[in-house]
Amino acid sequence: MTKWVADEMPDLNGKTAIVTGANSGLGYEITKALAAKGAHVVMACRSMDRARDAESRIERTVDDPSLSIMELDLADLSSVREFASAFESEYDRLDILVNNAGVSMPPYSTTADGFELQIGVNFLGHFALTGHLLDTITATSGARIVSLSSGGAHLGSIDLGSFRGDEQSYSRWSAYTQSKLAMSQFAVELQRRFNRDGNDTKSFAAHPGWSDTNLPRHSPVAIPDFVLNRVSMPAEQGALPTLYAATDPEAIGGAHYGPDGFLEMSGYPELATLPSGVKDRQTAKRLWTAAEELTGVRYPSENADTTTVSEPAEA
C-alpha cells in the first residue's frame, strides 16, 4: 500500500455516518475528514457543549459541512438505546459507523449499569450500539463498521469476571488492554457473521498507533514530552487507518488496520498484526455470549457452521 492520505477517500455525498466521541481527538479528525468528502456525519457525543464547540471548529475549516449532533453516553445502556431509537426515527440508512469513543486508564469507576468503566464504555457500550443499529446498517448497501482497538490489545486477555470488578483488584492497564482486545474480537466475529449471512456489510478494527490525543491523560506512567514528540504523530494522521477502513474500496472486511511504521506506532495505513487473542475462537464466542447477556442486546443467532469462513487478514 502506498502512503494513503485522507484526500484519497472517495466522494461520500449521500452517505450517512455516525462517529462516537466526535468532539475531540481522533473522533474530531475522523468527523472533519468524512464531512470534507461530503458525508453527513452524526456527532454522537456525551457532552453537548463540547460537541457544539467541535461542530463550530469544523464549520470554520470545512466548506459547508453536513453535521448534526446527538447525545450519546456509552456508559449508560439506556442512553445507547435512546440514541439508536432517535437515530432510526430520523434516518433510514447508515453507511459508516465508527465506534471511536473511549476511556483510557482512569481511576476505578463503574458505568450506570455497574460495569467497570473501560470495558463498559469501550466495548459493551459499542456492542450495544452496533446491535441496536444493525438492521439499519445491514439494510444499507456496502455499509461499514470500524471499531477502534489499540496496540495494547496485544497485551490483553479476557476475564469475564472482571466486567463487574471491584476497586481492590482493579488494574488500569489490564482493564484497558482487555477492553481493546474485546473490540478487536468483536470486529472480527462480526465480519464472520456477515460472511455467514451473505451480507455485504464490512466490519473492521483499526488502531491509531501512538497519536497525540488526550485519551491517555489518566495514565499512571508519566512519559516525558521529548519522548512523546519523537514517537507520536498528530491525531489527524492517527485517524488515517480508521478512515481507510471506513471508505477505501480495497479495505478487507475482518482485517485490522494501523500505521505502517516501527512497532505500528506511527506512519500510514497498512494491514496491522492481529492480536493473538483474536485467534482464540472459544474465548471470542464466550465474550459474545456474555456481551449479549450483559447488555440485553441480541444479534442474529449463530446457527450455522462457520468453519469455512476465511480467517481475518493480517500483516
pLDDT confidence bin for 282, thresholds 50/70/90 = very high
pLDDT digits (tens, 9 = 90+) for 143-194: 999 999 999 999 999 999 999 989 999 999 999 999 999 999 999 999 999 9
Catalytic residue among 28, 170, 176, 257: 176
Q: Say yes or no to pLDDT of 265 above 70.
A: yes
Angle, CA of 147, 177 and 287, to the nearest 5°: 65
Percent of the chain with pLDDT over 90: 82
pTM of the model: 0.91
Question: How far, in Å, CA of 192 to CA of 286, rounded?
Answer: 15
254-283 average pLDDT score: 91
In 103-174, which ranges are E strands? Answer: 144-148
Residue 115, CA distances (Å) to 88, 109, 118, 220, 283 in order: 27, 8, 8, 21, 19
Q: Does the annotation mark 91 as catalytic?
A: no
- From the list 263, 244, 267, the residue with the least C-alpha distance to 255 is 244
Q: Which domains, from first to last, does the chain contain?
A: 12-295 (3.40.50.720)
Q: Say yes or no to pLDDT of 217 above 60.
A: no
- The residue ranking higher by pLDDT, 246 or 307, is 246
Amino acid identity of residue 28, one-letter, is Y
